[in-house]
Chain A
Amino acid sequence: MTEKYKKQETRDELLSEIGDYDGLKEKIIRMYRNNRLAAFSAALIILMILLAVFAPYIAPYKEAHQDLLMRLQPPSRAHLFGTDELGRDVFSRILYGARVSLVIGIFPSMISLLIGIFFGLIAGYFGGWIDYVIMRVADVMLSFPSLLLAMALMYTLGRYANSVLCIFGALSLVGWASVSRVVRSVTLSLKETEYVDAARSIGVGRPKIMLRHILPNCIPSLIVLYTLNVPSCILSESTLSFLGIGVQPPAASWGLMVNQSKQYLFTMPWLALAPCLTIMIVVLAFNFLGDGLRDALDPYLKKG
């Protein structure tokens, strides 16, 4: 029995040693095991995305379907979260609103990620005045109130472009600055490493060094940054829509729904509560996922 026990132990020891060298996939799997909250958040986000994608099939009513005889109904079996002042089903509208919110959460973050990577790599790798100019522009972007910028864009361009596109532009324009800072700092430290020297010494050119040798080493920080960027974009969209300059009715958006239901806040609180809670849950899920990923991917935070 002791022998068997010993065997088991050495195998576990070996496994734990190997564990130090896990790749990205193993790290994420381990995060799933160790950090249930993050894993649950990931599942929730995937569910939310599926709900949004298949909203027309899942939602019991169309997003703009009005039933004026059934105005301001409390939650019931027919209307899970009740109905609003035009008799529209709140549950269905939340599902349709998820499309706007998730698209605005996911894509502008991605665009700003790409812009940020581009400028961050160039600033970090070339240094000198190029670095100086890019980083000062980034500073200006960071010090600029993003909501104001979005509003300005909306008022000036709202006539010509779709409001969702305007939010896209505004959020991408602001978000790249923090990404480029992170990428730049990683690039600065990585370009001094011997493996970059080694790559140069076999004749690898600049673009290839940046894309093949430096960028892959930034990916863990970028994943974390991205998951933390998504909820802030969702919040920005909600805020803009709440203020009336985001998504325009009759389209559904969580912020817009909160805005329209604010006059019934004390008489029919579920109208505001449902979209508010949805925003909160999704934002929290993204934040927890980001935290979990950071713990899993950052070697310095690893527990001994």
Chain B
Amino acid sequence: MDSPNILEIKDLHTSFFTDSGVVKAVNGVSLNVPRGKITGLVGESGCGKSMTAKSVMGLVRNPGRIESGSILLDGKELVGLPEKELRKLCGDEVSMIFQEPMTSLNPVIRVGRQVEEALRIHGGISSHAEARKMVVEMFQKVGIPEPEERYSAYPHELSGGLRQRVMIAMAMIRNPKLLIADEPTTALDVTVEAQILRLMKQLCEEQGMSVLIITHNMGVVAEICDEVYVMYAGRIVEKASVFSLFDNTAHPYTQGLLASIPGLYDNPEYLHTISGVVPNLKRLPSGCAFHPRCEKAFGRCSEEQPGLYPVEEGHLCSCFLSERQ
């Protein structure tokens, strides 16, 4: 318990070496997940959110690899750890919930068995009856009705919400210190989304678990996060507590994101958008990666990479405008 953070990522670079060039999916990301808190990682599609998570879990596949940086999980360095050691940690100390509950369960294995796998690998539980009891208890905890019967269901017999609950059960059965949730509610409808978020928050509080939740949905952030990192083109552009982020938005990109959420009472002719598209990660723009789309860009933006400047206590922003303040 030396560090206040369960997960510390420092200057992580994960790139894909394709035939047509190097794709810098994660380009110098540093982030901390404090113990017992829910940390959000927000950004557009393709900005490197998921790759950051996969780097932690050691799921980066050829032709991708972690180039440099360090990932400390509870003080243990994960980068460069042999596959076997890493698999020992995965599911035990850190586990992950995936975006697509439809495809993240094996269609030919009964869901109870899949959840049980984590117990058998890490828990040293060899008796089937004992493992089954624990799985059924876990099913109950994540709000799966009739857990006894669901134990022997195949994934296709369950709805999306139930499958995501099974995924959560699978991730949490060993009571990990850190849970990484990669867009856990994107594929679900809004009512189920609310249930799942509430469930995650509740489990997090009950078991003192830390959560890194990856999302592109500012509503999800506002609902459950304590701290938020905003990511753009493989970099962190803003870091703030959730209140500070919404009240005192510093980065033009975050401002654009928040302005793009249509309000209930304004009745605009057009929806606000950030003009342009996410840059190609093979050819990042010079200087600040956001400058070609930024309304407030000036000369220096295309020449220099901005650092992270403090806006207020615990609120950092990677924009020259914040430096002047």
* Residues on A facing B (Cβ under 8 Å): 21, 23, 127-128, 192-195, 197-206, 208, 212-213, 216-217
Contact = CB atoms under 8 A, between A and B. Distances in A.
Contacts, number: 81
21 contacts: A21-B154, A21-B156, A194-B104, A195-B104, A197-B54, A197-B98, A198-B104, A199-B106, A200-B59, A200-B87, A201-B57, A201-B91, A201-B98, A201-B171, A202-B170, A202-B174, A203-B87, A203-B89, A203-B92, A204-B121, A216-B109
A173 to B, nearest CB: 31
B129 interface: no
Contacts of A198: 96, 98, 104-105, 167, 170
Interface string B49-61: 0000010011101
Nearest to A24: B108
Contact of A201 (B59, B100, B156): B59
Interface string B156-172: 11000000000100110
B50 to A, nearest CB: 10
Interface in B98-118: 98-100, 103-109, 114, 117-118
Q: Select the residue from B87, B96, B100, B118 with max chain A CB neighbours within 10 A.
A: B87
B84 interface: yes
A178 B114 CA distance: 31
Contact of A204 (B54, B105, B117): B117
Interface of B: 54, 57-59, 61-62, 83-84, 87-92, 95-96, 98-100, 103-109, 114, 117-118, 121-122, 154, 156-157, 167, 170-171, 174
Nearest to B180: A201
A203 B105 CA distance: 15
Nearest to B167: A198
A197 B96 CA distance: 9
B101 to A, nearest CB: 9
A203 B91 contact: yes
A280 B91 CA distance: 55
A193 B117 contact: no
Contacts of B174: 202
B52 to A, nearest CB: 14
Contacts of A194: 98-100, 103-104
B106 A195 contact: yes
Contacts of B100: 194
A212 B108 CA distance: 9
Contacts of B109: 212-213, 216
A193 B90 contact: no
Leading 10 A-B pairs by shortest Cβ distance: A202-B91, A203-B91, A194-B104, A202-B118, A201-B96, A216-B108, A203-B90, A198-B104, A195-B106, A194-B103
A291 to B, nearest CB: 23
A96 to B, nearest CB: 41
A213 B59 contact: no
A60 B174 CA distance: 67
Contacts of B90: 200-203
B56 to A, nearest CB: 10
Contacts of A21: 154, 156-157
